[in-house]
Amino acid sequence: MTCAALDEMAGAQVFFKCENLQKTGSFKIRGASNAVFALSPAAAQKGVVTHSSGNHAAALALAARRRGIPAWIVMPSNSPQAKLRAVESYGGKIKLCEPTLPAREEAARELLEQTGATLVHPYNDHRIIAGQGTATAEFLDEAPELDFVLAPVSGGGLLSGTAIAAKSMKPGIRVVGCEPKQADDAARSMAAGKLESCDHPDTIADGLRASLCELTFAILRERVDEVVTVSEDEIIEAMRHVWERMKLIIEPSSAVAVAPALLRRIGAEGKRVGIILSGGNVDVSALPFR
Protein backbone atom coordinates (compact mmCIF):
# COMPACT_ATOMS: atom_id res chain seq x y z
CA MET A 1 0.00 0.00 0.00
CA THR A 2 0.99 3.64 -0.42
CA CYS A 3 -0.07 6.93 1.14
CA ALA A 4 0.52 10.38 -0.38
CA ALA A 5 0.39 12.09 3.02
CA LEU A 6 3.16 9.88 4.42
CA ASP A 7 5.19 10.30 1.21
CA GLU A 8 5.14 14.04 1.86
CA MET A 9 6.32 13.60 5.44
CA ALA A 10 9.13 11.28 4.38
CA GLY A 11 10.12 13.25 1.30
CA ALA A 12 10.18 9.92 -0.51
CA GLN A 13 7.97 7.36 -2.22
CA VAL A 14 7.03 4.95 0.56
CA PHE A 15 5.63 1.47 -0.03
CA PHE A 16 4.17 -0.62 2.79
CA LYS A 17 4.20 -4.43 2.97
CA CYS A 18 1.14 -5.00 5.14
CA GLU A 19 1.95 -8.01 7.28
CA ASN A 20 -0.52 -6.57 9.81
CA LEU A 21 -3.17 -8.04 7.48
CA GLN A 22 -1.50 -11.48 7.49
CA LYS A 23 -2.98 -14.56 9.19
CA THR A 24 -2.68 -14.16 13.01
CA GLY A 25 -2.05 -10.45 12.38
CA SER A 26 1.69 -10.55 11.77
CA PHE A 27 4.54 -11.83 9.59
CA LYS A 28 5.23 -14.57 12.14
CA ILE A 29 2.89 -17.07 10.46
CA ARG A 30 5.44 -17.34 7.65
CA GLY A 31 8.29 -18.69 9.75
CA ALA A 32 6.05 -20.72 12.04
CA SER A 33 4.39 -22.48 9.12
CA ASN A 34 7.73 -23.19 7.49
CA ALA A 35 9.12 -24.68 10.70
CA VAL A 36 6.06 -26.75 11.65
CA PHE A 37 5.50 -28.29 8.23
CA ALA A 38 9.22 -29.11 7.93
CA LEU A 39 9.02 -31.45 10.96
CA SER A 40 9.15 -35.19 10.36
CA PRO A 41 5.93 -37.07 11.19
CA ALA A 42 7.57 -38.59 14.28
CA ALA A 43 8.77 -35.24 15.60
CA ALA A 44 5.51 -33.50 14.79
CA GLN A 45 3.47 -36.03 16.76
CA LYS A 46 5.13 -34.85 20.00
CA GLY A 47 4.25 -31.22 19.31
CA VAL A 48 6.17 -27.96 19.51
CA VAL A 49 7.32 -25.55 22.23
CA THR A 50 8.30 -21.91 22.03
CA HIS A 51 8.62 -18.74 24.08
CA SER A 52 7.21 -15.50 22.72
CA SER A 53 5.68 -12.19 23.74
CA GLY A 54 2.74 -12.87 21.47
CA ASN A 55 2.96 -12.80 17.68
CA HIS A 56 5.20 -15.84 17.24
CA ALA A 57 3.15 -17.56 19.92
CA ALA A 58 -0.09 -17.07 18.01
CA ALA A 59 1.51 -18.03 14.72
CA LEU A 60 3.00 -21.24 16.07
CA ALA A 61 -0.28 -22.17 17.75
CA LEU A 62 -2.14 -21.76 14.45
CA ALA A 63 0.49 -23.57 12.40
CA ALA A 64 0.42 -26.44 14.89
CA ARG A 65 -3.37 -26.57 14.80
CA ARG A 66 -3.27 -26.71 11.02
CA ARG A 67 -0.98 -29.73 11.24
CA GLY A 68 -3.02 -31.27 14.04
CA ILE A 69 -0.29 -31.26 16.69
CA PRO A 70 -0.03 -29.68 20.18
CA ALA A 71 1.76 -26.40 20.88
CA TRP A 72 3.04 -25.28 24.30
CA ILE A 73 3.75 -21.55 24.52
CA VAL A 74 5.76 -19.71 27.18
CA MET A 75 4.67 -16.07 27.41
CA PRO A 76 5.88 -13.27 29.70
CA SER A 77 3.40 -12.18 32.34
CA ASN A 78 3.21 -8.65 30.87
CA SER A 79 2.07 -9.83 27.43
CA PRO A 80 -0.90 -7.85 26.07
CA GLN A 81 -4.25 -9.46 26.81
CA ALA A 82 -5.13 -9.38 23.11
CA LYS A 83 -2.13 -11.58 22.34
CA LEU A 84 -2.87 -14.00 25.18
CA ARG A 85 -6.44 -14.39 23.93
CA ALA A 86 -5.22 -14.96 20.39
CA VAL A 87 -2.89 -17.78 21.42
CA GLU A 88 -5.67 -19.44 23.40
CA SER A 89 -8.08 -19.11 20.46
CA TYR A 90 -5.66 -21.02 18.23
CA GLY A 91 -5.36 -23.84 20.73
CA GLY A 92 -1.97 -22.99 22.24
CA LYS A 93 -1.29 -24.13 25.81
CA ILE A 94 0.11 -21.08 27.64
CA LYS A 95 2.65 -21.09 30.47
CA LEU A 96 3.31 -17.63 31.96
CA CYS A 97 6.74 -16.57 33.21
CA GLU A 98 8.59 -13.48 34.43
CA PRO A 99 9.18 -10.90 31.65
CA THR A 100 12.89 -11.60 31.15
CA LEU A 101 14.68 -13.59 28.47
CA PRO A 102 16.34 -15.98 30.97
CA ALA A 103 12.95 -16.74 32.54
CA ARG A 104 11.41 -17.42 29.13
CA GLU A 105 14.23 -19.76 28.16
CA GLU A 106 14.10 -21.67 31.46
CA ALA A 107 10.34 -22.19 31.25
CA ALA A 108 10.66 -23.43 27.67
CA ARG A 109 13.44 -25.84 28.71
CA GLU A 110 11.19 -27.31 31.41
CA LEU A 111 8.38 -27.85 28.90
CA LEU A 112 10.73 -29.55 26.46
CA GLU A 113 11.83 -31.97 29.17
CA GLN A 114 8.23 -32.70 30.17
CA THR A 115 6.79 -33.18 26.68
CA GLY A 116 9.59 -34.33 24.37
CA ALA A 117 8.34 -31.71 21.89
CA THR A 118 10.49 -29.78 19.40
CA LEU A 119 11.63 -26.26 20.18
CA VAL A 120 10.64 -23.76 17.50
CA HIS A 121 12.57 -20.70 18.60
CA PRO A 122 11.10 -17.33 17.58
CA TYR A 123 14.26 -16.33 15.72
CA ASN A 124 17.25 -18.62 16.46
CA ASP A 125 16.20 -21.09 13.77
CA HIS A 126 17.12 -21.22 10.07
CA ARG A 127 13.60 -22.40 9.17
CA ILE A 128 12.06 -19.40 10.90
CA ILE A 129 14.43 -16.95 9.22
CA ALA A 130 13.78 -18.48 5.80
CA GLY A 131 10.04 -18.21 6.30
CA GLN A 132 10.23 -14.58 7.40
CA GLY A 133 12.32 -13.74 4.34
CA THR A 134 9.41 -14.56 2.04
CA ALA A 135 7.77 -11.23 2.97
CA THR A 136 10.64 -9.32 1.35
CA ALA A 137 10.81 -11.71 -1.60
CA GLU A 138 7.15 -10.90 -2.29
CA PHE A 139 7.76 -7.19 -1.64
CA LEU A 140 10.53 -6.97 -4.24
CA ASP A 141 8.48 -8.95 -6.73
CA GLU A 142 5.77 -6.28 -6.44
CA ALA A 143 8.03 -3.23 -6.02
CA PRO A 144 11.36 -4.16 -7.66
CA GLU A 145 12.68 -0.59 -7.82
CA LEU A 146 12.97 -0.10 -4.05
CA ASP A 147 16.13 1.69 -2.91
CA PHE A 148 15.62 0.95 0.81
CA VAL A 149 13.83 -1.69 2.84
CA LEU A 150 13.09 -1.09 6.53
CA ALA A 151 12.10 -3.70 9.10
CA PRO A 152 11.91 -3.73 12.90
CA VAL A 153 14.48 -5.76 14.82
CA SER A 154 14.18 -7.64 18.09
CA GLY A 155 15.62 -11.14 18.09
CA GLY A 156 16.49 -10.55 14.46
CA GLY A 157 14.51 -13.25 12.65
CA LEU A 158 12.54 -10.85 10.45
CA LEU A 159 15.47 -8.53 9.77
CA SER A 160 17.75 -11.49 8.98
CA GLY A 161 15.26 -12.94 6.53
CA THR A 162 14.64 -9.48 5.10
CA ALA A 163 18.35 -8.85 4.58
CA ILE A 164 19.03 -12.26 3.02
CA ALA A 165 16.14 -11.90 0.56
CA ALA A 166 16.82 -8.25 -0.22
CA LYS A 167 20.56 -8.51 -0.81
CA SER A 168 20.13 -11.72 -2.81
CA MET A 169 17.48 -10.26 -5.10
CA LYS A 170 18.86 -6.71 -5.33
CA PRO A 171 22.44 -6.39 -4.01
CA GLY A 172 22.43 -2.57 -4.16
CA ILE A 173 19.37 -2.12 -1.94
CA ARG A 174 19.96 -0.55 1.48
CA VAL A 175 18.64 -2.64 4.38
CA VAL A 176 17.83 -0.72 7.56
CA GLY A 177 16.92 -2.26 10.90
CA CYS A 178 14.72 -0.18 13.20
CA GLU A 179 14.71 -0.46 16.97
CA PRO A 180 13.35 1.29 20.09
CA LYS A 181 15.93 3.33 22.00
CA GLN A 182 14.75 1.58 25.17
CA ALA A 183 15.50 -1.87 23.70
CA ASP A 184 18.56 -1.07 21.61
CA ASP A 185 20.76 -4.16 21.84
CA ALA A 186 20.95 -4.57 18.05
CA ALA A 187 22.18 -1.01 17.49
CA ARG A 188 24.74 -1.37 20.29
CA SER A 189 25.82 -4.80 19.06
CA MET A 190 26.35 -3.56 15.50
CA ALA A 191 28.35 -0.57 16.78
CA ALA A 192 30.49 -2.70 19.11
CA GLY A 193 31.02 -5.61 16.72
CA LYS A 194 29.92 -8.06 19.40
CA LEU A 195 26.66 -9.11 21.01
CA GLU A 196 25.34 -6.67 23.61
CA SER A 197 22.45 -7.79 25.78
CA CYS A 198 19.32 -5.91 26.81
CA ASP A 199 18.13 -7.69 29.95
CA HIS A 200 15.38 -5.27 30.98
CA PRO A 201 13.91 -3.63 27.88
CA ASP A 202 11.23 -1.07 28.63
CA THR A 203 9.37 -0.13 25.48
CA ILE A 204 5.80 0.15 24.29
CA ALA A 205 6.87 -1.99 21.33
CA ASP A 206 6.20 -5.25 23.19
CA GLY A 207 7.14 -7.37 20.16
CA LEU A 208 10.69 -5.95 20.20
CA ARG A 209 11.86 -6.84 23.68
CA ALA A 210 14.01 -9.86 22.76
CA SER A 211 17.75 -9.71 22.05
CA LEU A 212 19.80 -10.89 19.09
CA CYS A 213 21.42 -14.32 19.10
CA GLU A 214 24.70 -15.42 17.48
CA LEU A 215 22.89 -16.65 14.35
CA THR A 216 20.93 -13.47 13.66
CA PHE A 217 23.78 -11.18 14.67
CA ALA A 218 26.11 -12.83 12.14
CA ILE A 219 23.55 -12.32 9.37
CA LEU A 220 22.93 -8.69 10.35
CA ARG A 221 26.65 -7.89 10.41
CA GLU A 222 27.05 -9.27 6.91
CA ARG A 223 23.93 -7.92 5.21
CA VAL A 224 22.34 -5.03 7.16
CA ASP A 225 23.58 -1.53 6.34
CA GLU A 226 22.34 0.32 9.41
CA VAL A 227 20.29 0.01 12.59
CA VAL A 228 18.50 3.19 13.68
CA THR A 229 16.70 3.80 16.96
CA VAL A 230 13.59 5.80 17.79
CA SER A 231 12.11 7.11 21.04
CA GLU A 232 8.85 6.04 22.64
CA ASP A 233 7.14 9.30 21.64
CA GLU A 234 8.35 8.87 18.06
CA ILE A 235 6.97 5.32 17.95
CA ILE A 236 3.56 6.50 19.16
CA GLU A 237 3.48 9.40 16.72
CA ALA A 238 4.33 7.16 13.74
CA MET A 239 1.66 4.72 14.84
CA ARG A 240 -0.86 7.53 15.00
CA HIS A 241 0.03 8.71 11.49
CA VAL A 242 -0.55 5.26 10.00
CA TRP A 243 -3.85 4.81 11.87
CA GLU A 244 -5.13 8.26 10.89
CA ARG A 245 -3.80 8.59 7.34
CA MET A 246 -3.83 4.99 6.07
CA LYS A 247 -6.76 3.68 8.16
CA LEU A 248 -4.61 0.68 9.06
CA ILE A 249 -4.30 -0.84 12.53
CA ILE A 250 -0.63 -1.39 13.29
CA GLU A 251 1.00 -2.19 16.61
CA PRO A 252 3.86 -0.17 18.11
CA SER A 253 6.46 -2.66 16.85
CA SER A 254 5.36 -1.91 13.29
CA ALA A 255 5.55 1.82 13.92
CA VAL A 256 9.22 1.46 14.90
CA ALA A 257 9.98 0.78 11.22
CA VAL A 258 7.79 3.67 10.05
CA ALA A 259 9.25 6.38 12.28
CA PRO A 260 12.78 6.64 10.78
CA ALA A 261 11.37 7.23 7.30
CA LEU A 262 8.85 9.84 8.42
CA LEU A 263 11.53 11.57 10.50
CA ARG A 264 13.93 11.55 7.52
CA ARG A 265 16.71 9.84 9.47
CA ILE A 266 17.92 7.39 6.83
CA GLY A 267 18.93 9.66 3.95
CA ALA A 268 16.13 8.42 1.73
CA GLU A 269 14.75 11.72 0.45
CA GLY A 270 13.76 11.38 -3.19
CA LYS A 271 14.16 7.59 -3.05
CA ARG A 272 11.78 4.62 -3.05
CA VAL A 273 11.44 3.20 0.46
CA GLY A 274 9.86 -0.12 1.41
CA ILE A 275 8.61 -0.60 4.97
CA ILE A 276 7.47 -3.90 6.42
CA LEU A 277 4.47 -3.32 8.70
CA SER A 278 5.24 -6.30 10.86
CA GLY A 279 1.97 -6.70 12.78
CA GLY A 280 -1.34 -5.27 13.87
CA ASN A 281 -2.03 -7.01 17.17
CA VAL A 282 -2.77 -4.19 19.58
CA ASP A 283 -5.01 -3.93 22.61
CA VAL A 284 -7.56 -1.37 21.43
CA SER A 285 -8.75 -0.84 25.01
CA ALA A 286 -5.33 0.57 25.95
CA LEU A 287 -4.21 2.73 23.05
CA PRO A 288 -1.22 5.02 23.67
CA PHE A 289 -2.60 8.07 21.88
CA ARG A 290 -3.08 11.23 23.87
* Crossing angle (nearest 10°) for helices 157-169 and 126-142: 50
Q: Would you give the distance in Å from CA 22 to the centre of its chain?
A: 13
Per the residue annotation, which of 26, 53, 79, 160 is the catalytic one? 53
What is the C-alpha separation between 4 and 219, in angstroms, rounded?
Answer: 34
- Examine the residue annotation and report whether 17 is marked as an active-site residue of this protein: no
Q: For residue 118, is it left (φ>0), alpha (ψ between -120 and 50) or beta?
A: beta
- Examine the residue annotation and report whether 28 is marked as an active-site residue of this protein: yes
Per the residue annotation, which of 17, 26, 28, 52 is the catalytic one? 28
> In terms of DSSP bridges, do strands 48-51 and 118-119 run parallel, antiparallel, or are they unpaired?
parallel
What is the C-alpha separation between 235 and 265, in angstroms, rounded?
Answer: 14
- Residue 224 and residue 244 in contact, taking contact as beta carbons nearer than 8 Å: no
Residues with active-site annotation:
28, 53
